[in-house]
Structure 1
């Protein structure tokens, strides 16, 4: 029986996306306890920025190797191991008694997290035809936003009830169980059902051919345009909500932790809407680039507004700004629709890894840069928002790079089958 005609493909879809939901939540959940970690471990804002960045640094550094390995050996094994590593890393984080333990835990978590997106894209490519894939990639992007949403009010309430250590330990345990579930769904059950794959073929190439492939891919201008496009729209948002969004609400607007996380949820709602809506609009218009250019412009304008109001926009405006920026992040799934449109499937893992590297390279850079700016402009009487004001220059610059990337992308017109 063919995988793409089997009803079991929906079990695979649900299992993979549920795992992605939990793994995505652990990218930003530590941002809820930034002040507690600073107090408990007596560390500076720069250290917290580095702690946040280290996970994204590992994630970013492994995207290209993961793309090569997934193209060559298949995605199932790496996704299972990734879920287990993320779970173990999260549990170690909850048990940490020294800042070095926290760094080690986030390295493990970042290693596991690095497996999810590239391998998930390839797994969906195995189990669904091209028409289904383009529609489902928007839902996959929305699932990541749901993971970030889970790491706001629900996770904050969980922390309030149990404390941050038991909360993170239980989340890590659940991720380990997801690893076992993926083993059953991706490896064991398909063999029992005798499901065959008519699309994906392992790319058994020699080292020399891999070197030639890398040279050809890295010299392709389209690849670097995709890299910059994802750099601008993903990392500024992920890096900010993963480290400084909640402290920003608490410091500048004197919110409680719960109020600040609830406020940030508006941006995540924008991301939830942006992923499927952007995919639908693109398919209806028969073009990905034109709506994506508009989305990048709106995202840039959103970050510029923070500068225009000296880091302290009216609360009412903040709802709109975070919604706009979140919408742009959700729509970033279009980057991988462009990858699928431009490159053959046996190279899509590598190209997706390069594009994803761009997005999370900016997520690596922003928390640390923001932390250094905040340390340089400490809060005090009359300058509570100065640090954040100067910090917002960084996402503005990142967004300009993203806009330039999407402008230079060359697009083929979408074919009828994806409408």
Structure 2
């Protein structure tokens, strides 16, 4: 009975996270419609997603502290309620300011969800199950993006702006009700440690979490791996595929669906890899970052519009970034005591969204500057300006990769770890398997 209750709690939590991902990615699907509805520039439209992510990233540490004190149930339910209000506000908005307010509420509600769902895992499952379940949480949650790119996109294009966004508000309301009815912080008989200290205790928990090299390694891992996919899904993917690459809406939706599918399929692989090769977690982070840089380089340097197969390869590589970013949370979990996991996870989760919001804004700013200078020749979302604007992502990839390499050396030195090359370990394992 206990096992059944554990899976029910996890299922409700994952559904709430799935709904949060739907709300997070929905505006990226409506980017072209938003430009017309609000009569806004590229920088103004990017501000919707940038402010949403700014709120999300800014609230990660406070949410981490609060979930350690109030518990996941209160935080997930409150987050769903905020997202419901935010999408209802956006449904009625007819100005940039009103629309931004709606996205800010969505960002605040989204911020309260993922960390809180992850906080449930150590309470309800065995430690050996947590890495794989962390990946499954992210994997199932990515279905929320499919909700955005298929049924929500269809509803938006076949009806109108207001009913489409009201349907998203209703979805968050449903998630809130289910959380209140079925989600519980911990099993019966397992007392939750009292974490209700004041400002001094909160400051101490933050300082101790940050002092752990694993927390900082998790933050930079999360900074580097998922941001390119986040930027693509939340803001610039659809305009790039449709206006710059000349794809139809149906083909663009299929490409975006591939991104979600890859993230889902690869999640269990990353979970098993982390469980079997815990010392090699940072090597996997660096590998995914390298592949992301290579894929974007080929697409941006391709003469003319890229072929569909190459765009598919790009999306496949970016799809690996989400599961790879979960490795950052494993660094936090294994480096901190259970009463600080929420706080440490909040610190880690700041990374990817800070990188995403900075990159997202820079891309929109560069597009507007190129258009104002006449370089775009009246095509704000043309291929040539997009090539220059999207190349700004390499700066964030470089910063994150260098930081991971530096911090992991320090973390390994403090832990007394001197690992053999990953290729050698994998080769020896494969030979043992053939014997």
State the TM-score, normalizing by the size of structure 1: 0.90
Q: Is the 8 A contact 1:227 1:405 kept in 2?
A: no
Match of 2:367 among 369, 374, 382: 374
Q: What residue number does 2:351 align with?
A: 358
Equivalent of 2:217, from 225, 234, 249? Answer: 225
Conserved 8 A contact 2:214-2:331: no
Of 299, 307, 326 in structure 2, the residue corresponding to residue 306 of structure 1 is 299
Aligned-pair CA distance for 1:69: 1.3
- Secondary structure of 1:204's counterpart equals coil
Determine the structure 1 residue equivalent to 2:130: 133
1:267 aligns to 2:259 (yes or no): yes
Structure 1 residue 309 displacement after superposition? 2.4
Looking at structure 1, the residues matched to 87 and 261 of structure 2 have their Cα atoms a distance apart, in angstroms, of 25
Q: Report the CA distance between 1:311 and its aligned residue.
A: 8.1
Question: Which of 231, 239, 251 does residue 247 from structure 1 map onto?
Answer: 239
Higher relative contact order (CA 8 A, sep 6+): 1
Distance 1:357 1:60 in 2: 5
Aligned-pair CA distance for 1:137: 0.5
Following the alignment from structure 1 to structure 2, what is the Cα–Cα distance between the partners of residues 275 and 404? 25
Could you report, residue by residue, the CA deviation over 1:215-258 in whole angstroms, capped at 9, with x for unpaired residues? 33334444333222211112222122211110111111222323
User: 160, 179, 183: which is aligned to 2:180?
Assistant: 183
Structure 1 gaps of 5+ residues are 415-419
Q: Which runs of 4+ in 1 moved over 6 A?
A: none
* Counterpart in the other structure of 2:61: 64
Q: Distance in 2 between matches of 1:401 and 1:170?
A: 40
Asked if the contact 2:212/2:336 (under 8 Å) is kept, the reply is no
On the 8 A contact 1:231/1:401 being kept in 2, the answer is no
1:199-348 matches, cutoff 5 A: 200-287=192-279, 288-309=281-302, 312-348=305-341
Alignment of structure 1 residues 85-164 onto 2, 5 Å:
85-164=82-161
Task: Note the C-alpha offset of 1:9.
Answer: 1.2
Given the superposition, is the C-alpha separation of residues 201 and 183 from structure 1 closer, same or farther in structure 2, using an over 3 Å criterion?
Answer: same
Q: Distance in 1 between matches of 2:139 and 2:225?
A: 15
How far does the alpha carbon of each residue in 1:15-59 deviate from its partner, in whole angstroms, 9 at most, with x for none? Answer: 111111111011111111211111122111110010111111100
Which stretch of the first structure deviates more once superposed, 335-344 or 289-298? Answer: 289-298
Structure 2 Cα separation of the partners of residues 14 and 213 of structure 1 = 30
Deviation of the 1:138 alpha carbon: 0.7
Query: What is the rounded CA distance, in whole Å, between the counterparts of 1:41 and 1:80 in structure 2?
Result: 31
The question of 1:84 aligning with 2:81 is answered yes
Report the more deviating stretch, 221-230 or 342-351: 221-230
The DSSP-based 3-state class of the residue aligned with 2:188 is: coil
Q: Aligned equivalents of 2:345 and 2:220: distance in 1?
A: 13
Relative to structure 2, which stretch is displaced further, 281-290 or 145-154? 281-290
Query: Which of 33, 38, 46 does residue 35 from structure 2 map onto?
Result: 38
Between stretches 147-156 and 337-346, larger displacement belongs to: 147-156
Deviation at 1:356, TM superposition (A): 0.5
Task: State the secondary structure of the residue aligned to 1:371.
Answer: helix
Deviates more, 1:210-219 or 1:106-115: 210-219
- Partners in 2 of 1:284 and 1:221 — Cα distance? 21
CA distance in 1, matches of 2:237, 2:293: 18
Equivalent residue number for residue 391 of structure 2: 393
Kept in 2, the 8 Å contact 1:94–1:169? The answer is yes
The 8 Å contact of residues 310 and 386 in structure 1, kept in 2 or not, is answered as no
TM-score (structure 2 length as normaliser): 0.87
* Structure 2: 5+ residue stretches without partners: 420-435
Residue 118 of structure 1 contacts residue 349 of structure 1 at CA under 8 Å; is this kept in 2? Answer: yes
Provide, for residues 159-181 of structure 1, a one-character-per-residue CA deviation record: whole Å limited to 9, x for no partner: 23332321210111121121011
Aligned pair count? 406
Q: Deviations over 1:175-211 (max 9, x none)?
A: 1121011011125xx89xx82325x423233322322
For 1:15 and 1:352, how far apart are their aligned partners in 2?
20
Residues 70, 349 of structure 1: 8 Å contact kept:
yes
Give CA-to-partner distance per residue, 1:318-352, whole Å, 9 cap, x none. 11111011112222111111211111111111111
CA distance in structure 1 between the aligned counterparts of 2:194 and 2:401, rounded to whole angstroms: 35
User: Does the Cα contact within 8 Å between 1:226 and 1:405 map onto a contact in 2?
Assistant: no
Separation of aligned partners in 1, 2:210 and 2:149: 38
Match of 1:243, SS state, is: helix
Greater CA drift, 146-155 or 64-73: 146-155
Q: Distance in 2 between matches of 1:98 and 1:381?
A: 24
